[in-house]
Structure 1
Amino acid sequence: MVLKKSFLSVLAAVLVIIAGCGAGTNTTGAPSGENGNGGSGSEAAVFSTSEEQLAAWNEFTEGLKGKWQGKTLNIVSVSDPWVESMTGLIKQFEDLTGASVNVSQFGYDAAYSREILTGSEQSSADDLFVYDVPWVGALSQYLLPLNDRLQQSAVVVDYDDFFGVMQKASTWEDNLLGMPFAPYFVMLAYNTQHFETAKIDGPPATLDEYVGDIKAISENNDLPGVYGGVLNNQSGTAVGQAYFEYIYNAGGKPFESMYPGSEDPYADMTPLFSSPESLKVVKMFKDLLPYEPEGALNMSWNERASTFASGRAAMMQPWVTDIAPLSDPEKSTVTESYATAPAPTSEGVKQSAPVGGYSMGINRFSAQQDLAWDFLVWFTSPQMSYRFADTGGFPNRYSVLNDETLAGKYVYYTTEREIVDTAEAFFRPQIPESFEIIDTLGTHIGEYLAGTVGLEEAMAAADQEIGAMLKKAGYTVND
């Protein structure tokens, strides 16, 4: 069995409808209060949208007034930093509709497990699932296809405005399964003051420069207590995901048919974790351990971000969700001394931005699918997407990313504009086995980083275990 994911072919007719919605613009499409019926906020965002979309938005929000009085909507979500922004905006939906909205937050692994359990039990306890890009295959049987609903709400949703890669990432076997409200891209964040002190002229463009700069800063006597970099080295999911964040830009590929530009990424799932490029990436992880803070082997997302935010590390290569808080003086000491750049690549390798992040889809067993859809349309609209980005979230639409007011507030927008269309939806595999692949790979890499096995032994074991898993599941795996 070969699973094939075809992107958006069934949605073509919908996008034709949406494409016609751009004639004429209006800068009063603000999501707050009387300027757009988006809620009770008093400040008016200056935001450009088509007159047709604005009219549809006003009609939609007018129809929401008191519509769901006494109802309760339940959302399962990861506990990432943007949730604070989402929950702040949810109050407006509650005031507008009369509904109550509960957001149950879980750690990354626990959120996945909760959604799989809810779906497998055909439970209606949760109405909306927030899911990461690689979970879509595993959750596809539990998520409600949204194609027909999108067609009916095409003008107000303006789906074509979402990043192209996230449109693909939210679709499985021609079914749109969620609205891509929280896309993540990996980019380099670096401390400009530390670079100036170390007399390094700008961020590294290549992986060799990246390694060299980390070592040089760590060894610089003018930067006591400062480390050149901080990476996700924790065994399991963290370092397994880190591998995928580097392998394409290192000129390699994790599986035979999975590479930038592949027309059928799951056609041949023969693992290539023992390839020269893979070995070089994983060896780099270990070679850099002496130049990272104490406890580097246990570093994962939160520890990496807090280390950089405290000024103790000169570089990190995080998701954008960990970059936005760097501008908040309550969360960061580097508000005026950090910048971003595309992730470094091997010499001569074209940039392929790692992408992930979250869509929100409706539990197909929910008894409140209409309420859930109203929330999805409202929260992921151009109007509320602007507010989400402006209150601690990040851009999920081209219109938001290209807004100069927000770009002046968040320094990473310029970098994201440069890389957004270089990303591939299958950066991490989206097949049902994805979670197990990443965790298994990360376990073997973790054993090597801890020194219990050698590099070639660890990666050969990853090839064998993951290859056997995929072969048993019916994928093409060559010996």
Structure 2
Amino acid sequence: MERPAFKQIMIGTASALACLVGLAAHAQDIDWKGKLADQAGKTLKLISISDPFIEAIKATKDDFTKLTGAKVEVDGNGYDALHDKELLNCSQNDSSYDVLLIDGIWIGEFVEAGCIDALDDRIAKEDPKVIAWDDYTSSGAGQASWDNKKYCLPVAIYYELMYYRTDLFDKAKMQPPKTFDELQKAAKFFTNNPDFPGVYGYAMNNQRGAAAGQQYFEWIFNAGGSPWKSNVIGAADPYADMTPTLNSPESLDLVQFFKDMVKFGPPGVESYAWDERASAFASGKLAMMNDWSVRAQIANDPKTSQIAGKFGSVLMPSKAGKPVPPVGGWVMCLNAHGTQKDAAWDFMKWYASPAEHKRYALAGGTPSRLSAINDAEVQAKFPWTKTIAEAQKTAWTEVRPRIPATFQLIDTIGVNVNKAIIGEMSVKDAMDDANAKATQLLKSSGALK
């Protein structure tokens, strides 16, 4: 089994001195004359998830047309549909799309299937100021790397944060929770409280399948556990022993916690996924939620949100108060079967470059570069970026698996987590069964001997 580039994905970033020097250099605009070819008459097609950052891409992509003459079309899709469509196209050697955005946890699968090109040779030929690899957060760079190679460019890296209604917490004279116990108490306090009519305490991603499965991985390290034996924070090789530990005491306690939190959510919260959770928070129904940093835009837009300007963000709660922020998000890759690779690479290197990335961030895209994350203008416009700056310091790239069997593994676990949440199975039976199924899946895929 191929291994990720672990030296690139350890906790933390480069030394403070290196970061300060790098940020100063990356803040400068790049003179693109001579760095981009004339691509007049060409049309590049990019396929992506329809998350909020796609609007930032659409808002800024036409500057590439002004520079090169090439038009850029963006095709948005749902999560499962995107995964399946990209893999189907790959299996058919399809060149319809030039640039693929993939979830960072799919990278092992896409590399093994031959869907994306390694970028090391192209990167080596570029001006270091254009690529500025050291300007990416280390966990973001890890999402774009596999088997000691750089396969993609981090464009929309997410960090899971906890959001809370500042107006409600101020009225209640409460501080946002830092531990599981504090979270549960706060959620209980706001639910069915006559002082806060129509408000529920919390909502999670409980929907059966990928949503609940990803929720499990996003919380397990904060619960003091791990999903398999060798995946501990800071491990030199987290994939050395993938024997699942889904039925460990810490895991069972976590799933019970998920189940207990349901009573503090709106009706139907057992089937909430990403959209439902974010919409409920933006509508004012929730006092708190955890969600990816990209979705703060939904609550921030006064056209669609009832709570714009009335919410804040903090690091994810943890059982012991020492958060392990989950990292995820989307990386931009070169279609291995594309027929316009040079033009596509021109777009990728331009779009992901530091100055363009800041413009994308100011347009509402989630920042993936330290220069954008720490930029005063970006932080002033999107205050939760300050929490991202803290989250990226201790984020663990392997909080979710990135092996070829990842998509199926997460879905399998998510089915059983949901069964436990809704009472279809006991917590222990559901996670014993999940552990057995995960073991079988990992053995059949070659990830576990």
Normalised by the shorter chain, which TM-score bucket? over 0.9
The 5-angstrom pairing of residues 451-466 of structure 1 reads 451-466=423-438
Mapped contact 1:4–1:267 kept (Cα < 8 A): no
Unaligned runs of 5+ in 2: 9-13
RMSD value over aligned CA atoms?
2.0
Mapped contact 2:99–2:334 kept (Cα < 8 A): yes
**Deviation by residue 1:39-83 (Cα, 9 ceiling, x = unmatched):** xxxxxxxxx725xxx4xx21x345537x11111111111111110
**How far has the Cα of 1:3 moved from its partner?**
4.1
- Give the structure 1 partner of residue 414 of structure 2: 442
Tell me the amino acid that sits aligned with residue 115 of structure 2.
Answer: Y
Q: Distance in 2 between matches of 1:418 and 1:20?
A: 14
- Give the structure 1 partner of residue 98 of structure 2: 127
The 5-angstrom pairing of residues 322-361 of structure 1 reads 322-347=295-320, 350-361=322-333
Q: Distance in 1 between matches of 2:35 and 2:69?
A: 12
Q: Distance in 2 between matches of 1:474 and 1:429?
A: 14
Unaligned runs of 5+ in 1: 10-14, 27-47
**How far has the Cα of 1:275 moved from its partner?**
0.8
**How far has the Cα of 1:20 moved from its partner?**
12
The 5-angstrom pairing of residues 67-466 of structure 1 reads 67-140=38-111, 141-153=114-126, 154-199=128-173, 201-347=174-320, 350-466=322-438
Mapped contact 2:165–2:310 kept (Cα < 8 A): yes
Mapped contact 1:3–1:267 kept (Cα < 8 A): no
**How far has the Cα of 1:430 moved from its partner?**
0.4
Q: Distance in 1 between matches of 2:191 and 2:299?
A: 22
How does the TM-score come out when normalised to structure 2?
0.93
How does the TM-score come out when normalised to structure 1?
0.88
Q: Distance in 1 between matches of 2:22 and 2:310?
A: 41
Using the TM superposition, name which of 98-107 and 233-242 deviates more: 98-107
**Deviation by residue 1:86-112 (Cα, 9 ceiling, x = unmatched):** 011111112221112121111001111
Mapped contact 1:133–1:425 kept (Cα < 8 A): no
Structure with more contact order per residue of length (Cα contacts < 8 Å, sep ≥ 6): 2
**How far has the Cα of 1:7 moved from its partner?**
3.3
Q: Distance in 1 between matches of 2:64 and 2:370?
A: 24
Closer/same/farther in 2, CA of residues 342 and 275 from structure 1, 3 Å limit: same
Mapped contact 1:197–1:222 kept (Cα < 8 A): no
- Give the structure 2 partner of residue 5 of structure 1: 4
Q: Distance in 2 between matches of 1:404 and 1:291?
A: 37
Q: Distance in 2 between matches of 1:378 and 1:6?
A: 24
Q: Distance in 1 between matches of 2:5 and 2:74?
A: 32
Closer/same/farther in 2, CA of residues 20 and 310 from structure 1, 3 Å limit: closer
**How far has the Cα of 1:297 moved from its partner?**
1.5
**How far has the Cα of 1:212 moved from its partner?**
1.0
**How far has the Cα of 1:24 moved from its partner?**
10
Closer/same/farther in 2, CA of residues 240 and 353 from structure 1, 3 Å limit: same
Using the TM superposition, name which of 160-169 and 460-469 deviates more: 160-169
Number of equivalenced pairs: 438
Closer/same/farther in 2, CA of residues 24 and 392 from structure 1, 3 Å limit: closer
| 3-state SS in 1 of match to 2:177 | coil
| 3-state SS in 2 of match to 1:111 | helix
Tell me the amino acid that sits aligned with residue 317 of structure 2.
Answer: P
Using the TM superposition, name which of 428-437 and 339-348 deviates more: 339-348
- Give the structure 1 partner of residue 27 of structure 2: 49
| 3-state SS in 1 of match to 2:397 | coil
**How far has the Cα of 1:342 moved from its partner?**
0.5
- Give the structure 1 partner of residue 443 of structure 2: 471
**Deviation by residue 1:278-331 (Cα, 9 ceiling, x = unmatched):** 111111111111210111112111110111111110000000011133222112
Q: Distance in 2 between matches of 1:446 and 1:245?
A: 15
**Deviation by residue 1:226-263 (Cα, 9 ceiling, x = unmatched):** 00011111110001101111110111001111121111
Q: % of aligned pairs identical?
A: 37
Mapped contact 2:110–2:404 kept (Cα < 8 A): yes
Tell me the amino acid that sits aligned with residue 198 of structure 1.
Answer: A
Tell me the amino acid that sits aligned with residue 185 of structure 1.
Answer: Y
Q: Distance in 1 between matches of 2:295 and 2:72?
A: 26
| 3-state SS in 1 of match to 2:45 | strand
Q: Distance in 1 between matches of 2:21 and 2:179?
A: 39
Q: Distance in 2 between matches of 1:337 and 1:255?
A: 39
Q: Distance in 2 between matches of 1:326 and 1:77?
A: 22
**Deviation by residue 1:356-407 (Cα, 9 ceiling, x = unmatched):** 0010000111111100100001100111101111011121111111111211
